Amino acid sequence: MNSSKNAKPRLVVLLSRFPYPLEKGDKLRAFHQITGLSEQFDIYLICLTEFEIKSNDLEVINQYCKEVHLFKLNRLLQIFSLFNCFFTEKPFQVAYFWQYHIHRKIGKIIERVHPEYIFSQLIRTTEYIKDYHKCPKVLDYMDVLSKGIERRIEIQPWYLKYLFKQEFIRLRNYERYIFDYFEQHIIISEQDQSYIIHPKSKEIAILKNGISEKFFISSKYNTPTYDLVFTGNMSYIPNIEASKYIVKEIIPLLNKDIKLLISGIKPSKSVLKLKTNQVEISGWVEDIRESYLQAKVFVAPMFLGTGLQNKLLEAMALGIPCVTTTMANTALGAIPEESILIANSKDEFKFQIERLLKDDELYSKIKNQGKAFVKDHFSWISLNEQLTELIVNSTNKMMN
């Protein structure tokens, strides 16, 4: 127990990636959760990483944590783990992030810290702490990895389809199996909650992503130089496929003067090949708000992936009207024709984009109501208040 009456409860947070800079969805979610939780808990952050962490990035996170522990994954051991995985039923994604020597070191840290609570993001991290039962543990599934893999099976070349099918089955079973090792569970949307095949899946709390108050304020209000914009981690398969879809399926149906900006970290070779006189590929941008504000319409043909698309929240927060799929909006919950426009085929995307570009009244309506919708429903302040309550209440679940 804490020796000081004013000491905060100790919370160990375990992540599969260092949560800064904010170029990926899991990092963005973890960063804002840590900043909010640090007001109520002393945070002992444990991060796995595949890369060296820059000192400036470490300084950003240090200010919110009592301790920060980084464990660099060994590449050879990752390959060995993946090979061994063929002889087990463990998901490849879980095996990829687990290494015995790191497991032992994490165990020693937890025994020394003796936390009141443990918070684990994504099932990739769960093997490290699932057998620790001296305090309640909270699992943030975030989104359902098995569903994301299932949606990607059909786009794989024939020689990878079997592996993806196997990984889908392994992940689905593991998501059910690991449930019972945690006292509290959270997930990003009701849609994702329904994909967890467990008798008590309805007990998983819905905790969406949010938008920082600072994000709504931009020092640069650019005159749009592009008609359309799409953003994201451009090495992530769902974003790669969405980029291809925009360029190859939607753009040819539109006016030849239409300009598109694709902006985001680590564009793959297939994304870089999409560059034309109509299409610009920007790569990493220090302040992603500048990319959004350079365009009139945000278009997101998301047919793969799971969870809540942060890119939609960000665009709407900046007053950029969005056109996206039913699948993406199911997690978001915006009202079609009020705060967002929906399209599920290339012809529907053409229709909705042209409506926005030609109808000033519709454009203004979707812009203003989209921004208001995000402000009203996606505040990190209120979301972190809910998260704090869920963590504290996990003690009751452990005792029952």
**Per-residue confidence at 72, pLDDT binned at 50, 70, 90?**
very high
> Considering only CA atoms, which of 366, 307, 288 is closest in space to residue 334?
366
Contact predicate 149/164, CB 8 Å? yes
pLDDT tens digits for range 319-342? 999 999 998 898 888 999 999 999
Predicted pLDDT of residue 307: 65
For the chain, what are the domain ranges?
Answer: 10-210+380-399, 213-377
- Report which residue type is found at 256: K
CB-CB neighbours of 129 under 10 Å: 23
3-state secondary structure the chain: CCCCCCCCCEEEEEECCCCCCCCCHHHHHHHHHHHHHCCCCEEEEEEEECCCCCHHHHHHHHCCCCEEEEEECCHHHHHHHHHHHCCCCCCHHHHHCCCHHHHHHHHHHHHHHCCCEEEEECHHHHHHCCCCCCCCEEEEEECCHHHHHHHHHHHCCHHHHHHHHHHHHHHHHHHHHHHCCCCEEEECCHHHHCCCCCCCHHHCEECCCCECHHHHCCCCCCCCCEEEEEECCCCCHHHHHHHHHHHHHHHHHCCCCCCEEEECCCCCHHHHCCCCCCEEEEECCCCCHHHHHCEEEEEECCCCCCCCCHHHHHHHHCCCCEEECHHHHHHHCCCECCCEEECCCHHHHHHHHHHHHHCHHHHHHHHHHHHHHHHHHCEHHHHHHHHHHHHHHHHHHHHC
Mean pLDDT of 2-7: 54
pLDDT above 90 covers a percentage of the chain that reads: 74
pLDDT-derived band at 108, boundaries 50, 70, 90: very high
Q: What is the arithmetic mean of pLDDT over 82-107?
A: 95
The CATH homologous superfamily of the domain defined by 213-377: Glycogen Phosphorylase B; (3.40.50.2000)
Task: Round to whole Å and give the CA distance between 326 and 301.
Answer: 9
Mean pLDDT of 85-95: 93
Distance of CA 130 to the CA centre of its chain: 22
Q: What is the mean pLDDT of the chain?
A: 91
Q: What residue type is assigned to position 316 of the chain?
A: M
User: Rounded to an integer, what distance in angstroms lies between the CA atom of residue 261 and that of residue 227?
Assistant: 8
Among 138-152, 210-224, 386-400, the range with the most confident prediction by mean pLDDT is: 138-152
CA distance 113 to 10: 8
**Crossing angle, helix 158-179 and helix 145-152, to 10 degrees?**
160
Residue range 252-281: mean pLDDT, rounded: 91
Edge-first strand listing for the sheet containing 322-324: 279-283, 260-263, 226-231, 295-300, 322-324, 341-342
The answer to whether residue 22 scores a pLDDT higher than 90 is no
- In angstroms, the CA 241 to CA 346 distance is 14
pLDDT at 218: 66
What digits encode the pLDDT tens for the residues 358-369?
999 999 999 999
pLDDT tens-digit readout, 51-69:
999 999 999 999 999 999 9
CATH code at 10-210+380-399: 3.40.50.2000
The pTM of this model reads: 0.85
Confidence (pLDDT) at 283: 77
* Residue 183: per-residue pLDDT: 96
Please state the rounded mean pLDDT for residues 369-373. Answer: 93
Average pLDDT over residues 140-152: 91
Q: How many residues does the chain have?
A: 400
Q: Would you state the pLDDT for residue 1? A: 37
In sequence order, the β-bridge partners of residue 12 are 44, 118
Q: What is the pLDDT of residue 2?
A: 41
Report the candidate in 339, 310, 308 with the shortest Cα–Cα distance to residue 323. Answer: 339
Cα 66 from Cα 362, distance rounded (Å): 49
Q: Is 273 a residue whose pLDDT tops 60?
A: yes
